[in-house]
Amino acid sequence: MKKIAPSILSADLANLASEVKEVAEGGADWIHVDVMDGHFVPNITIGVPVVECLKEVSPLPLDVHLMIERPEEFIEPFARGGADVLTVHVEVCHHLHRVIAHIKAKGIKAGVAINPATPLGSLEEILDEVDLVLVMSVNPGFGGQEFIPGSLQKIRRLKDWLKQRGLEAVEIEVDGGIKIENAAEVAKAGADILVSGSGIFGLKDRKEALRRMREAIL
Ligand code: DX5
Ligand code: ZN
């Protein structure tokens, strides 16, 4: 079954425990945690201490998306802090193979993320090694941006490619601009995991938002 991962970037950060509880009760699958460093992306968000606190209260796996330079220096602390999935960007890894191996050695899922303007070809030699590919459907850095329509074609091409290579177990996660209205289209293109920040936390009734998004992708 396809997964929905609400991004806490759009949650009330002063009440994270109750925000997480609400989406967990509403049927979310993972909690998506956006880590930004003000260098790789033009914004700063949260780090290891918040992941540690989330781990205490979240009944759901923590899906940690590192939008940071030199991610290799932070695999250890985020894994120890409680990440269940750790995703790094292909654009910042000089030694991606080593970073992915490091994440997997921690006994957690390893993902590689790719920006809208980065060609899928840059993943060719790493696809066999990862648990998931995170396709960015906005330029990373902020919640609440518009879904880039060309992402659908990219998701379809990736899906076909994985199939051709017998790598159907590699999940496709899509992140950015996903709302109730376009969730079906994104799922149909081949997304296995839908990240949604403002599309869920931006609505007053998060459980209702999740129910409607789930219904849309069924
Ligand atoms: C963007 C982040 C996303 C963001 C998505 O840089 O990686 O996870 O929270 O937010 P929405 O769903 O509002 O586009
Ligand atoms: Zn994200």
How would DSSP label each residue in 77-127? HHHHHT-SEEEEEGGG-TTHHHHHHHHHHTTSEEEEEE-TTS-GGGGTTTT
What pLDDT, on a 0 to 100 scale, did the predictor assign at position 32? 99
Measured distance CA(6)–CA(9) in Å, rounded:
9
- Pick the closest to residue 12 from 175, 197, 160 (CA basis): 197
What pLDDT, on a 0 to 100 scale, did the predictor assign at position 138? 99
- CA–centroid distance, residue 138 to ligand 1 (Å): 8
What pLDDT, on a 0 to 100 scale, did the predictor assign at position 217? 98
Output the CA torsion 150→156→162→167 (10° steps): 110
Q: At 141, is the secondary structure helix, strand, or coil?
A: coil
The CA R_g of the chain, rounded to the nearest whole Å, is 16
pLDDT in tens, the chain (218 residues): 999 999 999 999 999 999 999 999 999 999 999 999 999 999 999 999 999 999 999 999 999 999 999 999 999 999 999 999 999 999 999 999 999 999 999 999 999 999 999 999 999 999 999 999 999 999 999 999 999 999 999 999 999 999 999 999 999 999 999 999 999 999 999 999 999 999 999 999 999 999 999 999 99
What residues have their beta carbon closer than 5 A to ion ligand 2?
A: 34, 65, 175
What pLDDT, on a 0 to 100 scale, did the predictor assign at position 145? 98
What pLDDT, on a 0 to 100 scale, did the predictor assign at position 185? 98
Q: Where are the alpha helices (DSSP H) in the chain?
A: 16-25, 48-57, 75-81, 96-105, 151-164, 180-189, 198-201, 206-217
Give the tens place of pLDDT for each residue, 49-76. 999 999 999 999 999 999 999 999 999 9
What pLDDT, on a 0 to 100 scale, did the predictor assign at position 95? 98
- CA–centroid distance, residue 82 to ligand 1 (Å): 21
- CA–centroid distance, residue 122 to ligand 2 (Å): 20
CA triplet 167, 181, 196: central angle to 5 degrees?
A: 60
What pLDDT, on a 0 to 100 scale, did the predictor assign at position 56? 98
Among 29, 37, 131, 175, the active-site one is 175
Whole-prediction pTM: 0.98
Q: At 173, is the secondary structure helix, strand, or coil?
A: strand
Catalytic site includes residue 84: no
Nearest-atom number in ligand 1 for the CA of 141 is 6
Nearest-atom number in ligand 1 for the CA of 145 is 14
CA triplet 187, 129, 172: central angle to 5 degrees?
A: 5
- The separation between CA 101 and the C-alpha centre of its own chain, rounded to angstroms, equals 19
Give the tens place of pLDDT for each residue, 153-172. 999 999 999 999 999 999 99
Pocket test for ligand 1, best of 32, 135, 138, 213 (most atoms within 8 A of CB): 138
179 lines ligand 1 (CB under 6 A): no
Catalytic site includes residue 175: yes
198 and 143 in contact (C-beta within 8 Å)? yes
